[in-house]
Structure 1
Amino acid sequence: MELNPETVPLGSPGLVPQSFWENDCKVIYVARNAKDNLVSYYHFQQMNQALPETGSWEQYISSFLSGQVSWGSWFDHVTGWWESKAKHRILYLFYEDLKEDPAREIDRVARFLGKGLDQAVIDRIADHTSFVQMKENPMTNYSTLPTFIFNQAVSPFMRKGTVGDWKQHFTVSQSERFDEESRRRLAGTSLRFRTEL
């Protein structure tokens, strides 16, 4: 099926220039479970002064589930890239796996790129790319941007970086509704996400 760039979500395989696929470029794609992703979007959109108001938490859940957020449908995005990995050189990673065992996933990336790294180098990369290090680094935490762009008094750009923070935001009924919609939207794919470690 040929994707129409006017109807595909931002960042989906259909918006990558055709020459990218023709030249057999490699892609590293990282997906995060929908619940934690929604929480992250919510806080990011609140602090990002260029984006529209989020509305209430309940309204934002509905917007996310219907794909009416600035980045389009999470479901279309993750399934589009998941399906594309069978046809292209795509390393599909999961945020939860990166949090669980950074060294293992760094080694996977290196091998995908045709590089062999010794354990000392992998450990250094894991340290420099850890959430704690990146949260303190002005090159990655966007702390140097003026508040009229990112108002980090509302929420820091690098907020928590954990798996399972959704439990601090969702009510039981919201979680059940979200899970039901997720099952429906991911049915027919082999794509599975972990919502806790």
Structure 2
Amino acid sequence: MELPPRPKLFDFHGVSMTHYFTDNWENIQNFQARPDDILIATYPKAGTTWVSYILDLLYFGQTAPERQTSLPIYERVPFLESDFHILPPGTELADKLSTSPRLKTHLPVQLVPKSFWEQNCRIVYVARNAKDNEVSYFHFDRMNQAHPEPGDWNNFLQRFMDGKMVFGSWYDHVTGWWERKQTHSKLHYVFYEDMVEVSRTTSCAIKVLTSLQIM
């Protein structure tokens, strides 16, 4: 089967995006967060799936262990802004969860639905070293059909430094969330490298977050 063409980048409210993350925009912005929601926020390739698994185990590992084998991670921790057309949009998946949803997003802080701030939700933001983040992003984009063609390394490096990536500039993303941390007491700002260091000294994945005083 022939794959659809790679999407093109375009400017969306000052942030480079592709249509897979903007086609459902009205529903994204009108999404109603719940007071006990936990939002996982990262720049792409900064530990999103890792933290998603940890939080899901932390909250449901004992009470509903069947979740680990009966539901894929994208249903347990929906990707808020995703609309890939072969699956229900992330907002729809989140609304269907009987438990309070554990959501993930790559949106820069200024584009996050206002209901998360109004409900004073807990947020876990993970920041990763720019160099490692970029290398991971490059290899991810080589296989990810929802992003533009990465081109060669030199071209990709220049785009990364210029902020011409899906979800925009790495620098703007990590600094924007850091600044919001100063006014939102329930925003826990975590460094990927600290999580790696903690994971080396414990055999329990859940302790990675609890030892960093996130939960």
The two structures have a TM-score, normalised by structure 2, of 0.46
Q: Where does 1:152-167 land on structure 2 (aligned, <5 Å)?
A: none
Structure 1 residue 28 corresponds to structure 2 residue 124: yes
Range that drifts further, 24-33 or 7-16: 7-16
**Larger strand proportion, structure 1 or 2?**
2
Please state which structure has a larger fraction of its residues in helix: 1
State the match for 1:58 in structure 2.
154
1:96 to 175, 182, 193: 193
Q: Hey, what's the Cα distance between the residues in 2 that align with 1:69 and 1:77?
A: 11
Distance 1:90 1:36, change over 3 A: same
User: 1:7, CA displacement in angstroms?
Assistant: 2.3
Secondary structure of the residue aligned to 1:69 is coil
What stretches of structure 1 of length at least 5 have no aligned partner? 114-197
Bigger radius of gyration? 1
Code of the residue aligned with 2:167 in structure 1: it is W
Q: Do the aligned partners of residues 112 and 52 (structure 1) sit closer, same or farther apart at CA in structure 2, a change above 3 Å counting? A: closer
Residue 140 of structure 2 is matched in structure 1 by: 44
Partner of 1:186: none
* 1-structure distance, mates of 2:141, 2:114: 31
Q: CA 1:12 to 1:36, structure 2 compared with 1: closer, same or farther past 3 Å?
A: same
| Count of aligned pairs | 108
Question: 7, 13, 20: which is aligned to 1:6?
Answer: 13
Cα distance between partner residues in 1 of 2:15 and 2:167: 11
Q: Is the 8 A contact 1:8 1:15 kept in 2?
A: no
- SS at structure 1 position matched to 2:163: coil
Deviation at 1:52, TM superposition (A): 1.8
Aligned partner letter, 1:96: E
Work out the percentage of aligned pairs sharing the same amino acid: 48
Residue type at the aligned position of 1:73: S
CA distance, structure 2, for counterparts of residue 50 and residue 76 of structure 1: 22
Distance 2:164 2:208 in 1: 32
Evaluate the alpha carbon distance shift between residue 8 and residue 108 of structure 1 in structure 2; reply closer, same or farther with a 3 A threshold: farther
Distance in 2 separating the partners of 1:28 and 1:74: 17
Q: 2-side partners of 1:62 and 1:84: how far apart? A: 28
Match of 2:210 in 1: 107
2:14 alignment partner AA:
T
1:13/1:108 Cα in 2 relative to 1: closer, same or farther (>3 Å)? farther
Alignment root-mean-square deviation, CA: 2.0
* CA distances 1:137-183 after superposition (whole Å, capped 9, x unpaired): xxxxxxxxxxxxxxxxxxxxxxxxxxxxxxxxxxxxxxxxxxxxxxx
1:82 to 173, 178, 189: 178
What is the CA deviation profile of residues 50-94 of structure 1, one whole-angstrom value per residue up to 9, with x for unaligned ones?
322111111111000001112210000000000000111210111
